[in-house]
Amino acid sequence: MTVRELRTDVLVIGGGTAGFGAALGAARQGKSVRLVEGTSKIGGVMAFCPGMPWGGGYPTGRSIGGVFGELTDALLALEPPMAEVRPSTLENFGYEVIYDHEAAVFAMFQMLEDASVEVHLNTFAGAPVMEGERIARVECTDRTGPIAIEAGMVIDCSGDGDTSARAGVPYVVGDGRGNMMGVTLSFSMVGADWARVFAKGDPYFEEEAAFGIAQGLIHPDLAKLYLMKGFHPDTVFCNSVHIRGVDGTDPQAVARATQEGRRRCHQLARFLTRHVPGFEAARMSELGPTVGVRETRKLEAVQRILASDLRRGAKPDDGIVACDNPIDDVMRGDEAMTHDAIVAKGDYYTIPLRAMVPERMQNLLFAGRLVCADPAAFASVRGMPQCMAMGQAAGTAAAMALASGVPVQALDPVRVAAALAAQGMRGIGGDRLERHVPALEAA
């Protein structure tokens, strides 16, 4: 079969929130960018769990800025607004952005188009073709057949890192003992009566859940029903159906988990309409097309982010995004769900660029949920705003490495952080998010 041959300055693998940021970061530096996404939509987990809020974009109450800030502002500026910034109902989380899913996806595609990013949907990146310590080409496939994409720089934003692993980048799976966080199938209920649904104020609906479990009406792992107001006034977003012990790198395991998730979601929707006040007239909508996978491989980098760095509010010179998210750990192995604070209230830490730079591969960077972090730190750094920002940093860094003709390991990370601060990213490169501000500032 003929192999189509394409070329680009920067190849971004994976169009989740990290890939979105990476493609924009590199393209806005004047580089040609191809973004290869295996599914029919950008967003990654955001597309698999439609309506999931962007959490963690407001450390100390102020926006991290960058492409996250731009996207939020674009949705807030629509008439009527298609997003809202609000306090999270979960302990130790700050503000979150809730949005109309379709408006957000459209805005993201528009931003990529405006930056002249060449988007390849339904296209899978496979094996790398190596030249020493460089990736010369990546073998991709779409319905027309094989495509070899030659790239000056590759940014792996695939969440799972298949191509990087094949290139020989070492990695750790889950917590290092193979335990990965639970995967989740989400859905919404439309036609709900918010006043009655949320009358008690418990975000987990633990009393109702205990009744449902005792009666055998819902799965025992549903002791905490995490139900929250969706963007539209009669909508409730349900981020509750977690399935343990699923290897997100195994497509068949993901398919089986998704079908099991459907079973539990339909059961839960039925339970809500029959037993939880305010849901009587509601119906299920926007069931995710597949489970959202939180954690698989974490690639090894020049630096690993440690929970101890987060606890002391570390702000290294190469910090590229601010974060104060708690340890948002969801059912790794037999464990429960935690939202324990990791950084003192009013403080934050920054994620170092070095955690996205491999030790040896000269033209590879990575961003998003495959960042190099220990298990507790990973549970904090993985929010979508942070993934967008990590991507923007990797894209900017890739363009800078190409412009100066150096391997990624020789980049001056402080210059990268300064470039990002100049792009409007907050809390880095000498800018400090001063203190906790109870009243929300504009994004």
Ligand X SMILES: Cc1cc2nc3c(=O)[nH]c(=O)nc-3n(C[C@H](O)[C@H](O)[C@H](O)COP(=O)(O)OP(=O)(O)OC[C@H]3O[C@@H](n4cnc5c(N)ncnc54)[C@H](O)[C@@H]3O)c2cc1C
User: Is residue 61 a contact point for ligand X (CB under 6 A)?
Assistant: no
First to last CA, the chain: 50
292 sits near ligand X (criterion: CB under 6 A)? yes
52 binds ligand X per the rule CB under 6 A: yes
CB atoms within 10 A of CB 210: 12
Phi and psi angles of residue 185, each rounded to the nearest 5 degrees, phi first: -105, 125
Place of tokens 């007239």: 281
Q: Which of 15, 61, 352, 429 binds ligand X (CB under 6 A)?
A: 15
**Closest distance of CB 236 from ligand X, Å:** 14
Report the nearest approach of ligand X to the CB of residue 356 (Å).
Answer: 11
Give residue 205's region: left, alpha or beta (phi > 0; psi -120 to 50): left
237 binds ligand X (CB under 6 A): no
The nearest distance, CB 48 to ligand X, in angstroms, is 7
Per the omega criterion (within 30 degrees of 0), is the bond before 81 cis? Answer: no
Q: How many helices (H) and strands (E) does the chain have?
A: 12, 20
Check residue 342 and report its DSSP letter. Answer: -
Phi (first) and psi of residue 436, to 5 degrees = -70, 125
69 binds ligand X (CB under 6 A): no
Minimum CB separation of residue 277 from ligand X in Å reads 25
Is 184 an interacting residue with respect to ligand X (CB under 6 A)?
Answer: yes
Closer to ligand X by CB, 36 or 376: give it: 36
Instruction: Identify which of 140, 106, 108 has the alpha carbon closest to the alpha carbon of residue 122.
Output: 140
Task: Print the binding letters for residues 29-48 with ligand X: x by CB under 6 A, - otherwise.
Answer: -------xxxx----xxx--
Among 134, 294, 298, 354, interactor with ligand X by CB under 6 A: 294
Among 72, 74, 66, CA closest to 85: 72
Min. distance of Cβ 383 from ligand X in angstroms? 4
The stretch among 50-58, 108-116, 127-135, 338-346 that binds ligand X (CB under 6 A) is 50-58
Among 9, 12, 17, 425, binds ligand X (CB under 6 A): 17
Residue owning tokens 């995490």: 226
Could you tell me the smallest distance in angstroms from the CB atom of residue 288 to ligand X?
Answer: 8
Q: Tell whether residue 382 is a contact of ligand X (CB under 6 A).
A: yes
Burial (0-12, 13-18, 19+ Cβ within 10 Å), 430: exposed
137 binds ligand X (CB under 6 A): no
Q: Which listed range, 168-176, 289-297, 348-356, 396-404, lies at the site for ligand X (CB under 6 A)? A: 289-297
Residue 125: both structure tokens together: 């990146």
- How far, CA to CA in Å, does 388 sit from each of 22, 70, 88? 7, 11, 19
DSSP 182: P
Instruction: Kindly indicate which of the ranges 54-62, 144-152, 332-340, 426-434 contains the residues binding ligand X, using the contact rule CB under 6 A.
Output: 54-62
- Closest by CA position to 174, among listed 293, 291, 52, 24: 293
Q: Interface with ligand X includes 158 (CB under 6 A)?
A: yes
Give the residue with the Cβ less far from ligand X, 239 or 258.
239
Query: Of 98, 305, 387, 433, which lies in the binding site for ligand X, with binding defined by CB under 6 A?
Result: 387
Closer Cβ to ligand X, 193 or 260, answer by number: 260
DSSP string of 269-324, one letter each residue: HHHHHHHSTT-TT-EEE---SSPBP---EEE--SS-B-HHHHHTT---TTEEEEE-
**Interacting residues with ligand X (CB under 6 A):** 13-19, 36-39, 44-46, 49, 52-56, 124-125, 157-160, 162, 184, 239, 292-294, 368-369, 382-384, 387
